[in-house]
């Protein structure tokens, strides 16, 4: 199960990289190299042992690769002085056979379909997560992806939350970028968004839902029925 959770994330980033012509794919690793966006600007999916790390460090320091790397745990990077730990996440999954629709989706949750809505999503995600999400990257997904659906939480005329569901080649649904603005926290927006994405996955006949939870989000997802399996970590390569 842990491999399925990680595969969904990596396939999602590769999909975005391809849509934006920013994917770097080698036999040893993959990367998405963005000029104007912190997301998903990173190295990932390392397919060889620790020896590849030295090559990656060199290329990153020469600006041939991004400075951010996401890697499964354990990995040994915490003992390497060229790396700075950024954050860790729990790999979690939910069996959709156990899904029961308890209520109608929150009517304040709207699917992103236009350029204006893409800008709102990008701004909300950027403020929620504290890194730059480029509106052009989001609009490219909205225009051209058949496997990604983006949603925002609208309260009156203000966008307070966001979320994405991605359907991978294994018929698994990945929940990504579930975020809430600071002013909207404590209102259950993240829970409502997660339930909406679960409903989308269930109605599309996905087999399982997967996600990567922060320490703050892990408890919320556990209460909804998600189970933990493994961990990933994100590091910065120091120049």
> What mean pLDDT is predicted for residues 69-79?
94
Q: What pLDDT does residue 127 have?
A: 97
> Rounded to an integer, what distance in angstroms lies between the CA atom of residue 92 and that of residue 222?
9
Whole-number mean pLDDT of the chain?
94
**pLDDT value at position 104?**
79
Order of strands across the sheet that contains 208-213: 23-25, 30-32, 42-44, 68-72, 227-237, 83-95, 208-213, 173-180, 158-167, 148-155, 109-111
Q: Which residues contact 199 (CB under 8 A, 6 or more apart)?
A: 101, 105
pLDDT of residue 217: 84
Count Cα atoms within 13 angstroms, Cβ side, for 223.
11
Alpha carbons 211 and 90: distance in angstroms, whole number? 8
For residue 119, give the H/E element and its range: helix 115-129
Q: What phi, psi does 115 have (nearest 5°)?
A: -65, -40
What integer pLDDT is reported at residue 29 of this predicted model? Answer: 96
What pLDDT, in 10s, does the model give residues 90-116? 999 999 988 887 667 889 999 999 999
Q: Express each pLDDT in 171-197 by its tens digit.
A: 999 999 999 999 989 899 999 999 999
Residues 150 and 158 sit within 8 Å (Cβ to Cβ): no
Q: State pTM to two decimals.
A: 0.96
Name residues whose C-beta falls within 8 Å of residue 56's C-beta, 6 or more positions apart in sequence. Answer: 29, 43, 46, 65, 69, 237
List the domains of the chain with CATH numbers.
2-89 (no CATH), 94-230 (3.40.630.30)
The two tokens of residue 236 are 């910065």
49, pLDDT greater than 90: no
């Amino acid at each position: 199960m842990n491999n399925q959770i990680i595969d969904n994330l990596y396939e999602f980033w590769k999909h975005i990289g391809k849509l934006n012509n920013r994917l770097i794919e080698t036999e040893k690793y993959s990367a998405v190299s963005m000029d104007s966006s912190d997301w998903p600007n990173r190295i990932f999916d390392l397919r060889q042992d620790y020896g590849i790390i030295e090559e990656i460090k060199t290329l990153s320091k020469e600006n041939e690769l991004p400075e951010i790397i996401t890697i499964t745990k354990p990995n040994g990077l915490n003992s390497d002085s060229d790396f700075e730990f950024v954050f860790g996440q729990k790999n979690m999954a939910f069996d959709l056979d156990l899904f029961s629709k308890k209520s109608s989706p929150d009517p304040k949750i709207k699917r992103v379909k236009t350029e204006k809505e893409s800008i709102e999503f990008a701004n909300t995600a950027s403020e929620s997560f504290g890194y730059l999400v480029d509106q052009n990257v989001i609009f490219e997904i909205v225009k051209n992806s058949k496997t990604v659906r983006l949603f925002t939480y609208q309260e009156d005329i203000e966008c307070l939350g966001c979320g994405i569901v991605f359907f991978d080649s294994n018929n698994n649904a990945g929940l990504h970028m579930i975020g809430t603005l600071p002013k909207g926290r404590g209102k259950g927006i993240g829970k409502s968004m997660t339930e909406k994405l679960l409903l989308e996955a269930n109605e599309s006949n996905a087999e399982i839902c997967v996600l990567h939870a922060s320490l703050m989000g892990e408890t919320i997802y556990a209460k909804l029925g998600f189970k933990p399996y493994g961990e990933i970590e994100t590091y910065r390569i120091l120049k």
